Amino acid sequence: MSTPEIDVRGLHKSFGDNEVLRGIDLEIGSGEVVCVIGPSGSGKSTLLRCVNLLEEPTKGQVFVAGAEVTDPDVDIDAVRRRIGMVFQQFNLFPHLSVTDNLTLPQRRVLGRDKAQAAEVAADNLRRVGLSEKAEAYPASLSGGQQQRVAIARALAMGPQVMLFDEPTSALDPELVGDVLAVMRRLADEGMTMMVVTHEMTFAREVADRVVFMDGGVIVEDGTPEQVIGNPRHERTRHFLSRLLDPAMADVEEEISDQVGKSEQPPN
């Protein structure tokens, strides 16, 4: 079996007395797309941030492309060059053009000259469908366009894996599709991707595997058909029912509460 691109072993993370991750084991193979779903506070984003050491684990090991991120002697900057990260917010420099937002990290981190960085920037703007916005400034772009620029910026660094932390959560609904279309193309190109998301259609259609987290642990891990289509655990079923049909979930919960009260003996 080949070495996984991402390998998480016995990962724990605590913030004071609050244990957010309670022993996570997860492998993601080369070219695999894994969507991580779960309720707010389940530890999804913390897990993602531990992969590139934006959060330092309390205990456990993380390997990316064979290098141990959690090794105290690791050259974390060298490891991070293999990892592209896309956040909820776009984090673009407002005073720089789109091209300059893409070339600055290449020149400072990778040492590319101006011409080479500009060529790579142009290639990646084409990948996300924004060649015509090369000289625009972030304030003139829609939220979806800004997020696509952020994806292009990450890709311009030549990563082996891409991490996405709720990349569409800050967008208006009509802008989500363009960002997800770019992510679909990356998946089709064979990019290894770990995606924290609530976009169930994307997870169902694009992911190789879906991981459901709750309470800092992995509750289910399987194909989209298994985890979304036919979940084994009640916690997963309850989460999906509220996510996929929140109105019906609220009605069912209210009915359940009323039935429960009616079955209680009188005081």
Q: Position of tokens 């679909």?
A: 184
Angle between helices 114-127 and 143-155 (to 10 degrees): 130
Confidence (pLDDT) at 242: 86
**Main-chain dihedrals φ then ψ at residue 34, nearest 5 degrees:** -120, 120
Residue 67: burial class (beta carbons within 10 Å; 0-12, 13-18, 19+): middle
Q: Let me know: does 198 contact 36? Beta carbons within 8 Å.
A: no
With H, G, I as helix, E, B as strand and everything else as coil, classify residue 81. coil
Q: Using one digit for the tens of pLDDT, what is the confidence trace for 95-106?
A: 999 999 999 999
| Domains, in order of start, for the chain | 6-82+159-256 (3.40.50.300)
Query: What is the pTM assigned to this prediction?
Result: 0.89
Confidence of residue 185 (pLDDT cuts 50, 70, 90): very high
The pLDDT of 171-191, averaged and rounded, is 93
Q: Using one digit for the tens of pLDDT, what is the confidence trace for 197-206?
A: 999 999 999 9
Q: Is it the case that residue 263 has pLDDT exceeding 80?
A: no
Confidence of residue 238 (pLDDT cuts 50, 70, 90): very high
CA distances from 64 to 26, 68, 150, 253, 256 (A): 12, 6, 22, 42, 46
